[in-house]
Amino acid sequence: MLRAETFHPSDLPPGLVEAWREMCEQHPDFRNPLLGPDFAQAVGKVRGDARVTVWYWSTLNGGSRPAGFLAYHRRTGGVARPIGAPLSDYTALVSSDVLDIDEALTVAGLPAYRFNGLVDPYGSFRTVQTLEQESYLIGLDGSADDYLEALRANSPKRFKNYRRLDHKLDREVGALRIVAHDADPAVLTQLLDWKRDQLARTGGQDFLRPDWIRQLLAGLHQQTEGPMQGLLISLYAGSDLVAGHFGIRSGAAYHPWIAATDPRFAAWSPGQIFLLRAIAAMPELGLATYDIGPGHDHYKRPYARSTRLIRSGAATATTALGRAAQVTEQAWALAGARGDGAVGRLRRRLDAITAVEPSFGGRAVSLVATLASRARRTSSEPAG
């Protein structure tokens, strides 16, 4: 028999934290810092609506054992969304076997779970209609030099040009060097400012606007011990900060969120130079996996020699509220929300705003800012 218990991440008993970590280690798809208890607890420090549901199987002697863990935010109407979204490029019901998601949600009293980036190696979501997307991984199974040489062999012209730009930047601006972990808070602030400027220019949602996001990133930047740590990798040309990635690492796995460059150096393709230099530095940093996540396929695909399929969609409980949520999902689908057209883009943007903005006021401000940014972008585009 399946039963469930729900906690704020800060209230998880130590025994359950360890059981969660052990469950993550049992399957390679779960060995990502976003899927373990440490990320959930970090988000819990800045979000009161963070929750972790633990499911248990009954044992023959009358006891119970953990069957699965799901970290999420419980939002309006009881709908669950992935913990730390939109930073949660991956989400999972971490388990050691199949857990039927419809039954699990029903037992936990959750009407629905809307997700992106689902990792589901055991097929717990097999009954849910989803959209698939590729996520990109840089994985060293040999030396960094061998990996880089394989990239060059696959796209010789592309990487020959990047090498030329690397040498040009080194010669014309200053000696290139990677710094990691870059512990200077001002460097993180600069990366975030560059990223926000980029989002404003391109009409993207400013997911860095909410206070809780900035508090989370600042706290993780200072976290340099324990099973999960913040890691800021910076590229300098002489004394000039050129580019950087910031994210979290767990053991030999690194998952960056923020990738930003100084627009003054755009002519040298600093993002490309940075990533090649970062790959070369992986062994020294103790990294075997550099998980660059989904999206921006044109940029990421040339660097990744392996991918994983992730999914987006919504699972619903077998209750009245769950059926109501399912009707809403079906209505959006009929309107075209699963496609690449205007309705699909609108639904994805609303989902992103709802995930990142806990308050109604914050959601309204974010929506108005996004619409204004898109209007400015459209008006600046040439006609015809």
Q: What is the Cα–Cα distance from 24 to 17, expressed in whole angstroms?
A: 11
Work out the end-to-end distance of the chain between its first and last CA atoms, rounded to an integer number of angstroms.
Answer: 64
At residue 206 the predicted structure's pLDDT band, cuts being 50, 70 and 90, is confident
Q: What is the Cα–Cα distance from 316 to 323, expressed in whole angstroms?
A: 7
Residue 381 CB contacts under 8 Å (≥ 6 apart), including other chains? none
Dihedral of the CA atoms 318, 320, 324, 329 (nearest 10)?
-10
Helix H or strand E encompassing 132: strand 130-139
**What is the separation of C-alpha 255 from the centre of its chain, rounded to a whole number of angstroms?**
8
**What does the block give as tokens for 66?**
């953990």
Q: How large is the average pLDDT for residues 52-76? A: 90
CATH topology of domain 2-135+309-334: Aminopeptidase (3.40.630)
Q: How large is the average pLDDT for residues 199-221? A: 91
Q: What is the Cα–Cα distance from 323 to 317, expressed in whole angstroms?
A: 7
Same fold, 2-135+309-334 and 141-287: yes
Using alpha carbons only, give the angle 357, 271, 176 rounded to the nearest 5 degrees. Answer: 130
At residue 359 the predicted structure's pLDDT band, cuts being 50, 70 and 90, is low
At residue 371 the predicted structure's pLDDT band, cuts being 50, 70 and 90, is low
Bridge pairing between strands 289-294 and 253-261: parallel
Reported CATH class of domain 141-287: alpha beta
Q: Which segments of 14-128 does DSSP mark as H helices, in order?
A: 14-25, 37-44, 101-108
Among 41, 14, 24, 26, residue whose Cα is nearest residue 92: 24
**What does the block give as tokens for 96?**
């050691």
Bridge pairing between strands 94-95 and 64-74: antiparallel
Q: What is the Cα–Cα distance from 262 to 268, expressed in whole angstroms?
A: 11
Residue 63 has pLDDT above 50, yes or no: yes
At residue 372 the predicted structure's pLDDT band, cuts being 50, 70 and 90, is low
**What is the separation of C-alpha 230 from the centre of its chain, rounded to a whole number of angstroms?**
14
Q: What is the pLDDT of residues 183-202, one digit of tens each?
A: 999 999 999 999 999 988 88
SS3 percent helix, strand, coil of the chain, rounded to 5, is 45, 25, 30
Q: What is the pLDDT of residues 281-319, one digit of tens each?
A: 999 999 999 999 998 888 899 999 999 999 999 999 988
Q: Give residue limits of the domains in the chain.
A: 2-135+309-334, 141-287, 338-379
**What does the block give as tokens for 231?**
């890691």
- Residue 382 is predicted with a pLDDT of 45
Residue 75 has pLDDT above 50, yes or no: yes
- Which residue matches tokens 């002697």? 61
Q: How large is the average pLDDT for residues 251-275? A: 95
Give the residue, 153 or 204, on which the prediction is more confident: 153
Amino acid sitting at position 28:
P
Q: What is the pLDDT of residues 103-161, one digit of tens each?
A: 999 999 999 999 999 999 999 999 898 989 999 999 999 999 999 999 999 999 999 99
The pLDDT mean for the chain works out to 89
Give the residue, 370 or 237, on which the prediction is more confident: 237
- Of 72-86, 167-181, 277-291, the one with minimum mean pLDDT is 72-86
- Residue 340 is predicted with a pLDDT of 67
Residue 169 has pLDDT above 70, yes or no: yes
Distances (CA, A) of 96 to 57, 93, 124, 211: 12, 10, 11, 36
Residue 378 has pLDDT above 60, yes or no: no
- Residue 383 is predicted with a pLDDT of 41
Q: What is the CA radius of gyration of the chain?
A: 22
